[in-house]
């Protein structure tokens, strides 16, 4: 009986965290709500030419305590009075589990040797310039403005710590 209750609670927690990720879709920022912040991310539309490089971005959204909650994909919708970008979240997914020995790669990957800034991956840290052992991979589809699954075949991510 207790085991079934624990399973139910775990399933409920999983569903709640998944549902909360979608709560951010449609949100415009800055400002973020409830003291949230975004400290990791990058422009991802470079494949559309330099004039469109920052039409879209992918990044993390953290709690006010700095704990990552979700990954967000956003479209540039304008600029404020100080010419700072205003974004609209078009897709979000729960922040993936990043265990010790792994890191989150954003806008630093390639597919079949071609740069693809839309890839977001949890990749194993190793002593190599390029990393290719993944636990989790998604791609921000610029046409659909959503995160989609990405096969690992042909994907590698730059080791930002290589040579340090």
pLDDT of residue 147: 97
Mean of per-residue pLDDT scores for the chain:
87
Q: What is the pTM of this model?
A: 0.82
pLDDT at 162: 74
**Listed ranges 4-18, 20-34, 117-131; the one with the highest mean pLDDT:** 117-131
**What's the distance, Cα to Cα, between the start and end of the chain in Å?**
53
Judge whether 20 and 34 are in contact, CB under 8 Å: no
Strand 109-111 to 119-124 pairing: unpaired
- For the record, the structure tokens of 143 come out as 């046409």
Task: Kindly report, residue by residue over 54-67, the tens digit of the pLDDT.
Answer: 999 999 999 989 99
């Amino acid at each position: 009986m207790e085991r079934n209750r624990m399973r139910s609670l775990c399933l409920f927690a999983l569903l709640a965290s998944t549902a909360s990720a979608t709560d951010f879709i449609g949100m415009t920022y800055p400002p973020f709500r409830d003291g949230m912040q975004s400290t990791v991310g990058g422009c991802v539309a470079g494949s559309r030419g330099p004039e469109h490089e920052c039409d879209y971005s992918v990044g993390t959204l953290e709690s006010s305590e700095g704990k990552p909650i979700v990954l967000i994909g956003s479209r540039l919708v304008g600029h404020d009075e100080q010419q700072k970008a205003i974004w609209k979240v078009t897709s979000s997914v729960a922040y993936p589990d990043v265990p010790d020995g792994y890191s989150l790669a954003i806008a630093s990957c390639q597919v079949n040797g071609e740069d693809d800034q839309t890839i977001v991956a949890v990749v194993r840290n190793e002593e190599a310039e390029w990393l290719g052992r993944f636990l989790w991979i998604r791609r921000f589809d610029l046409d659909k403005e959503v995160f989609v699954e990405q096969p690992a075949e042909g994907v590698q991510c730059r080791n930002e710590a290589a040579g340090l």
